[in-house]
């Protein structure tokens, strides 16, 4: 357990990355009081960015879970007080459209809450939250296409994917242990892979662009690398920052394979 609790941040260039699991339990503060605590993060595996905070409202709304977009945040989280400030009021959250419990997030529900809160419909541009939206005609076209779908096939729960086994070309090697997230644009920079079953005490990082598929049914994350390539990749030390030199070595290690 002590190893898991190591360093909750990692330097990434000039950015500071956060372990996604370290955000679970953060208090969400509305303009006029508490809303609840972060229970999970939903991410989009097309753009590899966090799309929603899943907030457990506790006794306030009888345990109801609500989804809040990073677009609702009033700046970055306060990591010292473990709080996430949002620009909403408690009444806005109370009156927001309710999602069906124990069911995947539907396209229609995403549209409903985006319209209700006035959030950008991220699927119209696909990237992070700090880029300009596309022309209105393109936005309308994609809105209609999303509304026609029953659920978003690219939306995943971080709690769910944590623990998924890593499937290399020639076999399994470890499982997803956590994610490193930039809390500026909420992009996912790396998956932390724990290979200790095969390599005692060893963790490695994999960038999202190296993931070829995620299988909900098999509870697996697929990569087009061999177990030897993963086994020999630079080791990730949770107690140390991710330096530019480490990243250079990591990308060089996989670079020849990626260029083939």
User: Residue 111's closest CA among 136, 147, 137, 145?
Assistant: 147
**pLDDT (tens digit, 9 = 90+) per residue, 13-26?**
546 789 999 999 99
pLDDT score, position 198: 67
Mean pLDDT of 72-96: 96
pTM: 0.83
CA atoms of 76 and 80, how far apart (whole Å): 12
User: Is residue 38 over pLDDT 90?
Assistant: yes
**pLDDT (tens digit, 9 = 90+) per residue, 41-61?**
999 988 899 999 999 999 999
pLDDT band at residue 6, thresholds of 50, 70 and 90?
Answer: very low
**pLDDT (tens digit, 9 = 90+) per residue, 148-186?**
445 556 789 999 999 999 999 999 999 999 999 999 899
User: Is residue 140 over pLDDT 70?
Assistant: no
pLDDT score, position 134: 40
User: Highest-confidence range of 96-100, 129-133, 137-141, 253-257, by mean pLDDT?
Assistant: 96-100
pLDDT score, position 141: 43
User: Is residue 146 over pLDDT 70?
Assistant: no
């Amino acid at each position: 357990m002590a190893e898991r609790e190591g360093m909750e941040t990692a330097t990434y260039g000039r950015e500071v990355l956060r372990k996604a699991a370290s955000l679970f339990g953060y208090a969400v503060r509305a303009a006029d009081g508490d809303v609840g605590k972060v229970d999970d993060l939903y991410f989009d595996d097309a753009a590899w960015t966090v799309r929603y905070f899943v907030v457990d409202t506790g006794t306030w709304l009888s345990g109801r879970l609500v989804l809040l977009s990073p677009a609702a945040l009033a700046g970055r989280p306060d990591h010292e007080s473990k709080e996430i400030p949002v620009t909403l009021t408690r009444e806005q959250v109370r009156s927001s459209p309710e999602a069906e419990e124990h069911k995947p997030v539907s396209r229609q529900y995403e549209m409903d809450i985006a319209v209700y809160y006035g959030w950008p419909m991220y699927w119209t541009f696909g990237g992070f939250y700090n880029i300009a939206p596309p022309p209105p005609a393109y936005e309308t076209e994609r809105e209609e296409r999303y509304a026609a779908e029953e659920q978003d096939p690219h939306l995943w729960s971080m709690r769910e994917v944590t623990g998924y086994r890593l499937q290399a070309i020639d076999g399994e090697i470890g499982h997803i242990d956590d994610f490193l997230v930039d809390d500026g644009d909420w992009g996912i920079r790396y998956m932390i892979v724990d290979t200790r079953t095969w390599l005692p005490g060893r963790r490695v990082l994999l960038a999202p662009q190296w993931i070829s598929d995620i299988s909900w049914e098999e509870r697996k994350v697929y990569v087009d690398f061999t177990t030897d390539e993963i086994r020999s990749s630079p080791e990730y030390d949770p107690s140390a920052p991710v330096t530019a030199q480490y990243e250079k070595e990591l990308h060089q290690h996989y670079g020849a394979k990626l260029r083939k």
